[in-house]
Amino acid sequence: MTTYNPVTETFLAQLRDIVGVDGVSTAESERNLHAADMSSHPPHLCDAVVWPTTGAQVAAVLRLANAHGVPVTPWGVGSSLEGNPIPLYGGISLSTERMQGIVAVHADDFQVTVQPGIGYKDLNKKLAAYGLFFPPDPGANATIGGMLANNASGIRTVKYGASKDNVLRMEVALADGRLIHVGSRSIKQSSGYDLLHLFIGSEGTLGVITEATLKLTPIPALMSAVVASFVDVETAVTAVVAIKGTGLDLAALDFIDGSTAAMLTQENGVDIPAQPTLLMEFHATHAETIELGLEMVREICVEMGATRIQATADPTERQRIWHARHQTYETKLRLNPGISWMPMDVAVPITAYPALVVFAEQEMAAKGVSGFLIGHAGDGNMHFTLAYQDKESHERAKEVNTAVIRRAVDLGGTATGEHGVGIGKAPLMPYEHGLALDVMRQIKQTLDPNSILNPGKIFPKL
Ligand SMILES: Cc1cc2nc3c(=O)[nH]c(=O)nc-3n(C[C@H](O)[C@H](O)[C@H](O)COP(=O)(O)OP(=O)(O)OC[C@H]3O[C@@H](n4cnc5c(N)ncnc54)[C@H](O)[C@@H]3O)c2cc1C
């Protein structure tokens, strides 16, 4: 096992030389703020929080930390759900909070170049002036760096892709202090190894993203939301497969279970019956395209036994529905004090989705674990979120989680569709990747031989 060196006064002085006196803090309050993400993985304190402002500063911090054997864990806003930015081995929490600049808007190329600390919601507010937006939308005001590092996605990934599909070029600081550029601003690129995508989803274990050029999309002229309620979960998720099978170009196709629908109606100002529900959205330039899509979806949902179908083109109503959907996790937390939640995040090919949902329900019933089901169903991405309150129920929830992950992999899917591996999924990586995990270790060893970058993540303990 790698051993790390403590952060000394001399080391702190050298850090201050790089980022300035107010760019380093060892205050307990700051270290506490960077000790835990939004998951229930136990917090761990770093020794110092560092706020660089430029790529060159990030590179210099890494060079110094590498020379001294001090771990560095990048930090966006800590909205991860698998312990991804928790500084497990102490050392430095490297925050990108002071790197929120928009470097250039290439509006005619539908591109923007940004520093990594900008929140995607803040970015989209600024891009609205150009009639453009960055489509991946994980909900919390996640940073671009955190989204690229986790390969985050969201409700609109079914049409616009995940973070990996919406990035063209990045500047990355490596563990040894080199600052490299990967990818290009060209939409088409086939030049050499695809290093750009090597860093996407690497969770800060291979390098720190210090700048990114993102692909943008014109804000759609017309948007329409559809809410379809079903008698049971199985019927609703089978309808998902049928809707996808039509080849309809939906911009969102999410599932929420009956208890979640009831909670959102009670707490978040929407009117959704307490039944398993599909939330959908269409984007188009012409009203006829939307009408046609709505008609087809209506027909399929009726055929599949939907009990109520509501469609709205009213922007306020549409935003209220998605805002409520995005509030699900926080609302559950608020309404259930004393309960901890373990979010599952498996994804499978769409035709396997119903089988996976049924399997998860059976496992939960067998182990006496309760929870709620939401998911980006159109992507085959399922989030059963499991409740636990003590050590014993935590163990049972972990057993369910493990069984469902294995089942997802057996069905041709993956242990994580969007939250990343972090701490929670690391033990399952050999099951999913087999020998390919050895290749990942070799890549890690090549780029970060002293294992200073976000140690303890992605790979199970040896
Ligand atoms: C209520 C709620 C709903 C969510 N819904 C979704 C969802 O629908 N889809 C989804 O994908 N996720 C979702 N998430 C998870 C989370 O928002 C995303 O994973 C997000 O991308 C994390 O961004 P962040 O800025 O908070 O990064 P952090 O959590 O701070 O960091 C994420 C990881 O990236 C690394 N990192 C951060 N910045 C950099 C950088 N510049 N260079 C290299 N590595 C870096 C960190 O070390 C860490 O490993 C949700 C979270 C919450 C709380």
pLDDT value at residue 57: 98
Range of the domain at 288: 222-329
Say yes or no: CB of residue 208 within 6 Å of ligand 1: yes
C-alpha radius of gyration, the chain, whole number: 22
Task: Identify which of 41, 50, 80, 255 to mutate to test ligand 1's pocket (most ligand atoms within 8 A of the CB).
Answer: 80
SS3 content of the chain, % helix, strand, coil (to 5): 40, 20, 40
Task: Clarify whether residues 180 and 282 are in a common domain.
Answer: no
Whether residue 341 contacts residue 384, with contact meaning beta carbons closer than 8 Å, is answered with no
List b or e across 166-184, with b for residues whose CB sees 16 or more CB atoms inside 10 angstroms: bbbbbbbbbbbbebeebbe
Mind giving me the DSSP string for 261-279?
HHHHHHHSS----SS-EEE
pLDDT value at residue 97: 98
Q: Max CA-CA distance within the chain?
A: 71
Whether residue 99 contacts residue 210, with contact meaning beta carbons closer than 8 Å, is answered with yes
H or E segment to which residue 167 belongs:
strand 167-173
- CA gap 170, 368 in Å, rounded: 46
CA–centroid distance, 152 to ligand 1, in Å, is 7
pTM score, two decimals? 0.96
Q: Could you tell me if residue 44 is inside a domain?
A: yes
- State how many domains the chain has: 4
CA–centroid distance, 96 to ligand 1, in Å, is 13
- CA gap 195, 192 in Å, rounded: 8
Q: Could you tell me if residue 248 is inside a domain?
A: yes
Q: What is the pLDDT along the chain (462 residues), one digit of tens a residue?
A: 789 999 999 999 999 999 999 999 999 999 999 999 999 899 999 999 999 999 999 999 999 999 999 999 999 999 999 999 999 999 999 999 999 999 999 999 999 999 999 999 999 999 999 999 999 999 889 999 999 999 999 999 999 999 999 999 999 999 999 999 999 999 999 999 999 999 999 999 999 999 999 999 999 999 999 999 999 999 999 999 999 999 999 999 999 999 999 999 999 989 999 999 999 999 999 999 999 999 999 999 999 999 999 999 899 999 999 999 999 999 999 999 999 999 999 999 999 999 999 999 999 999 999 999 999 999 999 999 999 999 999 999 999 999 999 999 999 999 999 999 999 999 999 999 999 999 999 999 999 999 999 999 999 987
Q: Could you tell me if residue 453 is inside a domain?
A: no
pLDDT value at residue 382: 95
- CA gap 138, 141 in Å, rounded: 8
Q: Of 218, 246, 263, which closes a domain?
A: 218
Closest CA to 209 of 68, 43, 52, 104: 52
Task: Clarify whether residues 107 and 33 are in a common domain.
Answer: no
Q: Of 157, 191, 218, which closes a domain?
A: 218
Q: Of 295, 329, 363, which closes a domain?
A: 329
Say yes or no: CB of residue 139 within 6 Å of ligand 1: yes
Task: Clarify whether residues 227 and 206 are in a common domain.
Answer: no
Task: Clarify whether residues 364 and 429 are in a common domain.
Answer: yes
CA–centroid distance, 461 to ligand 1, in Å, is 23
Say yes or no: CB of residue 329 within 6 Å of ligand 1: yes
Q: Could you tell me if residue 68 is inside a domain?
A: yes
CA–centroid distance, 84 to ligand 1, in Å, is 8
CA angle 332, 312, 330 (to 5 degrees): 10
Task: Identify which of 150, 164, 340 to mutate to test ligand 1's pocket (most ligand atoms within 8 A of the CB).
Answer: 150
Q: Could you tell me if residue 455 is inside a domain?
A: no
DSSP state of 368: T
Say yes or no: CB of residue 203 within 6 Å of ligand 1: yes
Q: Are strands 92-95 and 72-75 parallel, antiparallel or unpaired?
A: parallel
pLDDT value at residue 1: 72
- CA gap 162, 184 in Å, rounded: 18
Q: Could you tell me if residue 3 is inside a domain?
A: no
- Of ligand 1's listed atoms, the one at least distance from the Cα of 75 is 30
For ligand 1, atom 18: residue with the closest CA: 80
Whether residue 242 contacts residue 228, with contact meaning beta carbons closer than 8 Å, is answered with no
